[in-house]
Structure 1
């Protein structure tokens, strides 16, 4: 029985999970090949770097959008204008599910990816007062989230993980600026996703858990506990984007039997 434990001492985000899984022995070539099934490779490039976060060597995973400039140029204009909901700047929840289902992934990869997206879609829908079918993701966020979520599903299958457990999730504190204005941390969608899941206290000001990270754990973890009994086989550190003065912003995954 292969167990994977998410040690979220600095929260969790989609890119941190991918970085940590690659660091723990996931295959980036396999990841890239499998992701091609989405037929989106014109839209992004993947980057893996080793970085040191407050003394811990970790893997930083980035999705670089190839038409970044183009997208940013557009989304600025629409930020406060919701009449453009159906323009090319957004991907709807339904489109994303269709995209994943038509990609011919294994059943396990498909169902994990769809379940994680559904978790985010339901939370966003509830917060913004729209039906799941009408939830839209900003294009920039959408490409990132699709790669992160589908990528996590691909790597977990490749690493042959049977069971996933996680620590409690620190969410951070303070305020964040998003399209809708200045929001409290955790953002409402993140908190909604973490309903029923143990949240940990954290001194850190800033957003530690993103909706994608929260949804990955919420859907996949079977239980929330301290490090479970196991013979450790591999360890991975995934770097987050932020750097904090006294606190390594990494996610640790521990895989064992």
Structure 2
């Protein structure tokens, strides 16, 4: 079992993540191959050694010809769908660009399909996203974790005028993730970097217990005086037993039931892998709920603090558990003229489960003014056609 941890104390951008992957041992050809498969102007990647505050790092340069093309999300989706890409790379890149489009749409108050902005159409952004997704697919990590993200502070001039830092799209993309301003009074996390993190990172935590095998440092273009401008990627094996996690449980009989949805949301934001309620009957016939929370050891303290702060518990049980998780990828299907996210689960390379994102279904139903059950039926059928379950041999 191999896990990874990203040190994002200096923020994140596409080129910094590319550099960290190369510095950790991923061949640059692995990153460049999917970029070369796109039917666009020639884009190449080169690397150079760099230092930031005396620390050695790798910097990756994306060389793209000048272009005034401002592609929409639909244009990018067509490019990625038609290109000869590995399924995991295509699905990962589609998920990243969809996040970018949806975030920009919310910021500018327009539908994602109508968003026209440089970041999504830029050739270097396409190279960043495809290269980073391909690099992590090459590593085949069982889990990718990351520290809180430094976003920067101040303001900058963009295509629409002066914008605050952190940028509105960056904040939208990193909803639910732990972020800080950091010491650098400038943009330290780009929208592309934020979208990649939002899709790829599975847990936000300090450095987890692990046996370190490799470390890669990717340098950004600037060299601020406040700190080394690098993203560090730490790879290794978990120090605890493979698959180990923790189960926290507590019985609560005196909390207003209307508070429970907020409790569960805060637990997930604090790093819990899952959280749920079970109705129970306690002694003397008192109705109550058992709150159950799954988390990794590195998230235990944060999860316990949320349980204590948001419920009326006076104690909880903690026990080790093992978890078996199938490989999962994200995709999209077209449904009634809209897009719905799909989660595809595989076992030993076979597709065994396909499910649609219910929130996408509900949003599309509201947009089309149709019953949710009709859109759900159509989305499920489209997902099953696009990703048929593979029979066992």
TM-score, scaled relative to structure 1:
0.88
Q: Quote the residue 1:47 is aligned against.
A: 46
8 Å contact from structure 2 (residues 100, 120) kept in 1: no
Does structure 2 conserve the Cα–Cα contact (< 8 Å) formed by 1:53 and 1:250? Answer: yes
Distance 1:217 1:186, change over 3 A: same
Identify the structure with the greater helix proportion.
1
Q: Please give the alpha-carbon distance, in whole angstroms, between the structure 2 residues aligned to 1:93 and 1:12.
A: 22
Q: Which residue of 1 aligns with 2:11?
A: 11
Partners of 1:211 and 1:56 in 2: how far apart? Answer: 26
Instruction: Confirm or deny: 8 A CA contact 1:119 1:193 kept in the other structure.
Output: yes
CA deviations 1:170-222 (Å, max 9, x no partner) are 11111111111111100111111111111124121000111111111111111
Aligned-partner SS, 1:60? strand
Cα RMSD of the aligned pairs, angstroms, is 1.5
Distance 1:6 1:18 in 2: 12
1:141 deviation in Å?
Answer: 5.8
Alignment-derived partner of residue 228 in structure 2: 248
Work out whether 1:63 is the aligned partner of 2:62: yes
Q: Give, in angstroms, the shift of residue 43 of structure 1.
A: 3.4
Give SS of 1:61's match.
Answer: strand
The structure with more strand, counted as a fraction of residues: 2
Pair 1:135 & 2:115 matched: yes
Deviation at 1:114, TM superposition (A): 0.7
CA 139–237 in structure 1, closer or farther in 2 if over 3 Å, else same: closer
Structure 2 gaps, min length 5: 238-393
Moved more, 240-249 or 10-19: 240-249
Tell me, yes or no, if structure 1 residue 176 matches structure 2 residue 185.
Answer: no
In structure 1, the gaps of 5 or more residues are 76-88
The 1:141/1:241 distance shift into structure 2, 3 A limit, reads farther
Q: Which residue number corresponds to residue 81 of structure 1?
A: none
Q: Name the CA distance, whole Å, in 2 between partners of 1:37 and 1:145.
A: 15
Runs of 4+ displaced beyond 3 Å: none
SS of the residue aligned with 1:207?
Answer: coil
Asked if 1:35 is matched to 2:35, the reply is: yes
Using the size of structure 2 for normalisation, the TM-score is 0.58
Whether 1:216 aligns to 2:216 is no
Q: CA deviation at 1:32?
A: 2.0
User: Rg bigger for which structure?
Assistant: 2
Is contact 1:25-1:159 (8 Å) kept? no
